[in-house]
Amino acid sequence: MSRERLRATFDTVASRYQKARPDYPADLYAELLAMTGLEPSAHLLEIGCGPGKATLPLAQAGFRITAVELGDALADEARRGLRDFPGVSVVTSSFEEWKPPTGSHFDLIYAATAWKWVDPEVKYEKAAALLRPGGHLAVWNADHAFPPDFDPFFAEIQRVYDEMGEGDGGSWPPPRPEDQPDTTATEFEVSGHFAVIGTRRFVWGHRYSTEEYIALLETFSGHIAMEAAKKEHLYREIRRLLAARPDRSLTRHWLAVLTVGRRRGPA
CA atoms within 13 A on the CB side of 219: 20
pLDDT band (50, 70, 90) for residue 8: low
Contact 64, 88 (CB under 8 A): yes
Q: What is the mean pLDDT of residues 16-34?
A: 95
User: Percentage of the chain with pLDDT > 70?
Assistant: 96
Sorted by where each begins, the domain ranges of the chain are 3-263
Q: What is the mean pLDDT of residues 39-56?
A: 97
Q: What is the mean pLDDT of residues 165-182?
A: 90
pLDDT above 90: residue 9: no
**Least confidently predicted of 59-63, 220-224, 248-252:** 220-224
Give the span between the Cα atoms of 233 and 252, in whole angstroms: 21
Long-range CB contact pairs, 10-15, < 8 A, 24+: 10/50, 10/71, 10/74, 10/219, 10/221, 10/224, 11/70, 11/71, 11/72, 11/73, 11/74, 12/73, 12/224, 13/218, 13/219, 13/224, 14/51, 14/71, 14/73, 14/74, 14/76, 14/77, 15/73, 15/77
Q: What is the mean pLDDT of residues 167-196?
A: 93
In this prediction the pTM is 0.93
Q: What is the mean pLDDT of residues 173-186?
A: 95
**The pLDDT value given to residue 267:** 46
In CATH terms, the superfamily for domain 3-263 is Vaccinia Virus protein VP39 (3.40.50.150)
- Computed over every residue of the chain, the mean pLDDT equals 94
Give the span between the Cα atoms of 115 and 123, in whole angstroms: 8
| Closest by Cα among 185, 180, 190, 195 to 259 | 185
**The pLDDT value given to residue 5:** 62
Q: What is the mean pLDDT of residues 177-199?
A: 97
Residues 145-166 pLDDT 10s:
999 999 999 999 999 999 999 9
Give the span between the Cα atoms of 162 and 53, in whole angstroms: 31
Give the span between the Cα atoms of 81 and 58, in whole angstroms: 13
Give the three-state DSSP class for 212. Answer: helix
**Least confidently predicted of 31-35, 143-147, 192-196, 219-223:** 219-223
Q: What is the mean pLDDT of residues 40-62?
A: 97
The three-state (H, E, C) secondary structure of 61-78, written as one string: CCCEEEEEECCHHHHHHH
| Sequence-distant (≥ 6) Cβ neighbours of residue 136 within 8 angstroms | 35, 36, 38, 107, 108, 109, 197, 260, 261, 262, 263
